[in-house]
Amino acid sequence: MSRQENVIVTGAGSGIGKAFTRLFLADGAHVLAVSLLPEELDRLRDEMADVGGTLVTHVQDLSAPGAAEALLAHCDAQGWQVDTLVNNAGFATFGDVVDTDLMRIETMLRLNVITVTALSSLFGARMRERGSGTILNVGSTAGMVPAVRFAAYGGTKAYVNAFTVALREEMRPNGVNVTCLAPGPVQTKFAETAKIDSFDGTSMLKKWFASGRGSTAEDVARAGYDGMREGKAMVLAGTGSGLAALAQHLIPQSLLPRLMKNM
């Protein structure tokens, strides 16, 4: 009998991370669900009680300095070998950079870039040593199309997109699969957290989210899950993802922010 797959899902308390958790549990995995908010994890345990697999929750601020090292130490203390790492935790800031609280931008950079890189490095080293494992990083189409009000957030996701594809090639000879999931707009807490829904001005994204358009977290997670299992390098998911990828290649980047000026 094969050993139960051990999985870490960050940002597991809601949205795409919650949907990923359900998919892995349904496949019988042992999932360590990580979130900043204990109340989210309490609800997660209740909702996933009959799904299958084994769910363990862990409250941690992954934007804190040394967060990746702390999570690795936690797993080592449990004697837990991680087979699959899903770097899903992240958030956005929305608005002109000079009008956005700098501390919030710095926190976003640590979570979206530093922690994703460090977790991929630390757990990836263990996977490379064993000659097996999977890393799924959640990027975004926002990293493909530079847009005003998303300068900092889009920059973090451009990094995740490029980092993940390059990491894949580094890890491929050692039997480790690395996949990047790049969703378009998804109906989660994203708009509320980024303060898109309270933005005082003309915004295509504000109208988009307010109208209920965009993909569901479940559909995006399923696309990423299936693509990861199939060993794909990049998975585009959701409304507008294919168009964003096409625009990235056909339109000069210097023009894209002008075209997206009401984002």
Work out the average pLDDT over 111-121: 98
Distance in angstroms (rounded) separating the CA atoms of residues 252 and 109: 25
- Quote the DSSP letter at residue 189: S
Distance in angstroms (rounded) separating the CA atoms of residues 141 and 98: 23
**CA end-to-end distance (rounded Å), the chain:** 52
Work out the average pLDDT over 34-45: 97
Question: In a 10 Å sphere around its CB, with 0-12 CB exposed, 13-18 middle and 19+ buried, how is residue 216 labelled?
Answer: middle
Phi and psi based region of residue 214 (left: phi greater than 0; alpha: psi -120 to 50; beta: remaining):
left
What pLDDT score does 215 carry?
80
In CATH, which of 1.10.3720.10, 3.40.50.720, 3.30.300.30, 3.40.50.300 is domain 6-259?
3.40.50.720
Any idea where the domains of the chain sit in the sequence?
Answer: 6-259
What is the pTM assigned to this prediction? 0.88
- Beta strand ranges found along the chain (DSSP E): 6-10, 30-35, 54-59, 84-87, 133-138, 176-183, 234-237
Instruction: Summarize pLDDT for 199-228 with one digit per residue, the tens.
Output: 666 656 655 556 666 689 999 999 999 999
Least confident of 20-24, 146-150, 151-155, 244-248: 244-248
Residues labelled as active-site residues:
153
